[in-house]
Structure 1
């Protein structure tokens, strides 16, 4: 069965952010903070790759990219960091209802067949830049003050130019081709879209939420 990975980033009214969090805590009090099993080891391993490519070019006849064993390991690490518990999925559903109806300054959505768009971006950026982004591997719910606080770090990670930008775009495409089925994905949008929403929210005094999902 085919699956589609989704990453959505959208503005949310500041008051709604507080209401959503309060409702979530009332219905399902959060457990004590804890990292997924093995995350420290895997994160150290990922940091140690230092921009190393985890994909190889297929033969000229086949074209495209092929995933190495290290690419599969990184995929498993990202998957282990995704919280798909009932309480978190319910919060994601409630947040989704608050997003703007149409994509524009306040909403960005990326989809990819058999691949998670945020995971492709994270691989392309590398560990250090990814950890400058808000939240936990693509999932976050911020009020307006938190948006303003995180925006400089997000701009540092995403506002890329020159060779660095070209390298990140190629790495995004390698992930979406080598581990997914979307070689023609608009890789540039994964840099521009989330930053557009964050900047818009900072200008207009709104909160922002991001979520990664599978359908």
Structure 2
């Protein structure tokens, strides 16, 4: 049975961010500190993956095939899912998404049997990915943190025409014509939130 994932980035005022922090930040840090998480991250940084079109040709069980599997596990981890799909939880991320500040349109990437964050990280590589705050697409930032981290996010997600073409070649997602590309949406949210004096919540989850 397949899954449908969503990577959502929404803007909120600092009071909302402060209310989310006790529940959201510990889950992100717990995922970041897992030994298997750190091992997979370090392996990817030491030896980034080849063109994604070659992955299907890798012999099953080979070292490189296992590298791909480890990268996909790393970038499809969903520690915040317990705040989204828990039936008896009194707090749901979907409620927060719906209460986003209307001054900053949210970035919403929804895909069946795929993860926008995985495609983005493969496309930009570990050096740029390491510049992004939080952990693998999950973050909770105050307005001051958004302003402070904007230069690093701009460095990670700003491309020359040649760099963008190379990155786009490695984004395997099939977006609809009116959907915001994964190379554009996150930076647009950061810039608009910084200008508006708002914080940001990023969450990589399963819709179902």
Secondary structure of 1:189's counterpart equals coil
Secondary structure of 2:181's counterpart equals helix
Secondary structure of 2:11's counterpart equals strand
Q: Which residue of 2 aligns with 1:197?
A: 189
Q: Is the 8 A contact 2:49 2:68 kept in 1?
A: no
Q: 1:66 aligns with which of 56, 64, 75?
A: 56
Offset of residue 207 of structure 1 = 0.7
Partners of 1:84 and 1:15 in 2: how far apart?
20
Structure 1 stretches lacking a partner, 5+ long: 57-64, 177-181
Q: CA offsets per residue over residues 145-168 of structure 1, 9 Å max, x none? A: 000011000000111122211111
Secondary structure of 1:213's counterpart equals strand
Partners of 1:106 and 1:128 in 2: how far apart?
28
Q: CA offsets per residue over residues 100-137 of structure 1, 9 Å max, x none? A: 46xx8431111122101011101111112111112111
Partners of 2:101 and 2:157 in 1: how far apart?
23
Partners of 1:106 and 1:183 in 2: how far apart?
18
Q: CA offsets per residue over residues 67-88 of structure 1, 9 Å max, x none? A: 7423223112323x43156358
- Please tell me whether residue 7 in structure 1 is matched to residue 25 in structure 2: no
Partners of 1:195 and 1:72 in 2: how far apart?
28
- Please tell me whether residue 86 in structure 1 is matched to residue 82 in structure 2: yes
Q: Pairwise mapping of residues 100-179 of structure 1 onto structure 2 (< 5 A)?
A: 100=101, 105-173=104-172, 176=173
Q: Is the 8 A contact 1:3 1:214 kept in 2?
A: yes
Using the size of structure 2 for normalisation, the TM-score is 0.78
**Total equivalences in the alignment:** 192
Secondary structure of 1:2's counterpart equals coil
**Residues 185 and 6 (structure 1), Cα distance of their counterparts in 2 relative to 1, 3 Å cut:** farther
Q: Pairwise mapping of residues 39-58 of structure 1 onto structure 2 (< 5 A)?
A: 39-50=37-48, 52-56=50-54
Partners of 2:135 and 2:189 in 1: how far apart?
18
Q: CA offsets per residue over residues 48-75 of structure 1, 9 Å max, x none? A: 224632432xxxxxxxx83742322311
